[in-house]
Structure 1
Amino acid sequence: MRHRKSGVKLNRTSSHRKAMFRNMVTSLFKHDRIKTTDAKAKELRKHADKMITLAKRGDLHARRQALAFIREKDVVHKLFNDVADKFSSRDGGYTRITKLGPRSGDAAPMSMIELIFDEA
């Protein structure tokens, strides 16, 4: 049974998964959109939404929690100053996943995950 087991394994060890999602969240906030597989994009949404919620909170403890997860200090600065202001009136749903065609090598379904700035 799979009761109470959240998250997907993606055929990786836990340390590899954690490092991969830390890198992906950093890239997402740095470039505002990234291209990845469907399964990774769906799991990445959880981590990205949590970081935006921390940024909206805006206190020192939230900033330190974000610094513990996101790899680059300037990305955390951008997150807390720019992104938090744009999402201040939004109560969730900060990312959008757009389906793309299959990847050429292994035919994995690809997606574009991006931050939603236009709607509020």
Structure 2
Amino acid sequence: DGFEAFSPATLDKLRADGRPVLVDFTAAWCITCLVNERVALSSDIVHQALKSHNVALLKGDWTNRDAEITRVLQAHGRSGVPLYLFYRPGQAEPDVWPQILTEAQVLEAVGNLPKQSASAQ
């Protein structure tokens, strides 16, 4: 699905590289998370939009209540998943996406990024 495992170090590196990053905090038992993945994050049009804007995808799996992820959730005022954080290049704080996602919301957020060619440094 194109997602790498979330870690603060991976996030920091991607952001230092100037890439937009979508972090999906989810859990196997989270019904809302599974619906969002199916409805808003898995279509071809969303995958194409993410790819064309060079968005890095990180997944924070909170199935076993990982303490590091718990800290991130709490820092954003959440007691559980889903939590979607969208880091734009040059923006200190992430956009916090709604807990119920639509494909249109994802496409709009990603579409507002400047286009990046794969060769742009």
Bigger Rg, which one: 1
Give the structure with the higher percent helix: 1
User: Which one scores higher on RCO, CA 8 angstroms, separation ≥ 6?
Assistant: 2
TM-score, normalized by length of structure 2?
0.28
